[in-house]
Amino acid sequence: MDLAWDAYKARQEPNEEKGVRRRVVEEAATPENWQNLLRVDSNKTELFSFLSKVLLRAFCKKDKEIVLTDGKGVLFIQLLQDVHTLAPCSHEEPISRILLHVSHGAWHGYHQMLTCTVDTDVVVLAVFFINHLPAGCELWLAFGTDKSFRYLAAN
């Protein structure tokens, strides 16, 4: 399983609605107001890094691998030996990070991949991108939410 997070640069927008800067650590209380927490880019960066490390510790399936982005780096366990094409990763947008992980999986022997998204840009780029993967690879998208949810084949 690969999990790619957004990367956030500090914004310098004067009209940006202010949130609250909080440290994201295991001992901290769960925020009461997630919107305030997520308005601050450094909070999101810390949250994603924290989640990656917690997921890595919790993942304990033999014969399975997990690959997680952590800033520009990558965390992994189990079978994966070669991560040079994944890290360091300077991609800010999750779309390019998703496709980078799909490509890595395809070139390391995985022939069926599924990515989950609500973003139509991911669907469009996946349809283009499938032609750049090894022959026989299938890329599926779990797209949408609720009543509009569906599985789409990129190929």
Given CA atoms 148, 55, 32, 17 in this order, what sign does their dihedral have? negative
Q: In this predicted model, which residue has the larger pLDDT, 130 or 21?
A: 130
- CB-based burial label for 105 (10 Å; 0-12, 13-18, 19+): buried
**Within 26-149, where are the H helices?**
34-38, 41-58, 94-107, 120-129
| Domain spans, the chain | 2-153
- Under a CB-based contact definition with an 8 Å cutoff, are residues 103 and 85 in contact? yes
Model confidence pLDDT, tens digit, residues 27-41: 888 888 888 888 888
pLDDT, tens digit, 9 for 90 and up, residues 61-85: 666 677 777 777 777 765 555 666 6
Categorize the per-residue pLDDT at 140 as very low, low, confident or very high, splitting at 50, 70 and 90. very high
| Per-residue pLDDT tens over the stretch 44-57 | 888 888 888 888 87
pLDDT digits (tens, 9 = 90+) for 88-118: 666 666 677 788 888 888 887 888 888 888 8
Q: State the pLDDT at residue 153.
A: 93
pLDDT for the residue 15: 43
Instruction: Give the type of residue at 106.
Output: A
